[in-house]
Amino acid sequence: MTIKPDFSQSVPDNLGHVHFIGIGGSGMSGIARLLIQSGHKVTGSDVRESGNIEELRKLGAHVFIGHNANNLGDADTVVVTSALWPTNPEYGLAQEKHLPILHRSQALKYLTTDKKLVSIAGAHGKTTSTGMLVTGLRVLGKDPSFVNGGVIAEYGASAASGSSELFVIEADESDGSFLHYQTSIALITNVDPDHLDHYGSLENFENEFAKFANGASDFVAISSDDPGAVRVTKLIHDKRVITFGEEPEATVRVINLDASGAQVSFDLKYENEIYSATLRVPGKHNAINAAGAFAVLVGLGLDPEESLQAIATFGGTERRFELHGEARGVKVYDDFAHHPTEVLAALIAARAVVGSGRLITVFQPHLYSRTRLFAKEFAEALELSDEVVVLDIYAAREDPEPGVTGALIADAFLVQKRMHYVPLWDDVPCAVAAIAKEGDFVITMGCGDVYRQVPGILKALEE
């Protein structure tokens, strides 16, 4: 098993030279970027090269590929994630040297001190909602600092320092670290069951979201539609609450929604006025995400009409229905969806874009526990595709579970002739190319490393 973060570790007044173990992820690289911009020496390591690492090197970070104790150098502080294994040699040496070892949320808290913090949490929709809110604030001249879980297309970055007091973050609920921030405004996209391996029960999961909401000093924006969010709303006390969604009683109500094409159009009803928008991204779920971002902006006192039009300029984030190329008349996309509800929403949006074309989903399950708990729900969501290729599980922070493989999802599929279980990584591109025909759309899906299949799929299609 991976390490258990020690949130009791005190954060030094000055982090000094900071070394990141696993620096390439969007969240870690974003924090590293801000520390560099604030004058810290930053080093780090990861298992492979990436665009994030290339950008950090341009900013002055020294990044090693591969983990080795020598990489630690003269670091004063070490930053880690919950996905780190205790056998990591850099982690072991940091322990031996009694260096402060901070979970990434503690490093992020260090950066957000004395800021008006907007924390965005939820089982899914966080990255897009954060991108929409940051975009809206920037267009409106508020220039927030931000750390997102994905690169915002307009800005080519997942993090940046801003000149205003506002700081917007994607707050991770997977390990409970979202409770450690000094949040002013909490945006909860949904409380869909997830990470039950950490929380133990749905009740515990929802109670932690209630703590997160009640910890917000200014106000809470929360979904009116999601059943878990509705239950959490009943646990919020003595707070200003702005609800958003399609429910008639929502403070910010989504109406007249049209998600039938490559863009989604809708109206928002707020304080008896109606505001209209067409987003540059597809899907009903993105209209709901926009309503959440709108709820925060109007909660901050910004003009409703200007707020919605600012949000509508949002052009997406990397790994959210992102087109990577076309070969032999087949377009290949990639998407980060990794929870059944997310998968269903992403495929509904994709279906609207592809029109009469066939949709081929290449799905990589993430986590053994999630696959075991939701195999049937994943199969039901994936049924929206015309053909499905299921890979084996991306383990991330978990040890293998006997009998838990991608086959659990494949076996739950109702129409087996449309399901292709391909457990060997190297076999995937040819399997996809054999299925795809001119006019089809292929979408790789998952939050592991399935995106690395895209170049191989394009090459196999060409050949």
Torsions phi, psi for 110 (to 5 deg): -55, -40
Strand, helix or coil at 308? helix
Cβ 71 vs Cβ 19: under 8 Å: yes
CA-wise closest residue to 344 among 301, 374, 312: 374
Distance of alpha carbon 41 from alpha carbon 36, whole angstroms: 6
CA R_g for the chain = 22
Token pair belonging to 251:
């403070």
Q: Which of 390, 353, 393, 396 is nearest to 371 (CA)?
A: 393
The answer to whether the CB of 276 falls within 8 A of the CB of 291 is no
Q: Which residues are catalytic?
A: 126-127, 170
Return the closest-CA partner of residue 407 out of 379, 383, 382. 379
Contacting residues for 253 by C-beta, under 8 A, at least 6 apart? 224, 244, 245, 246, 247, 268, 269, 270, 291
The number of residues making up the chain comes to 463
* Spatial separation of the C-alpha atoms in residues 376 and 363, rounded to whole Å: 14
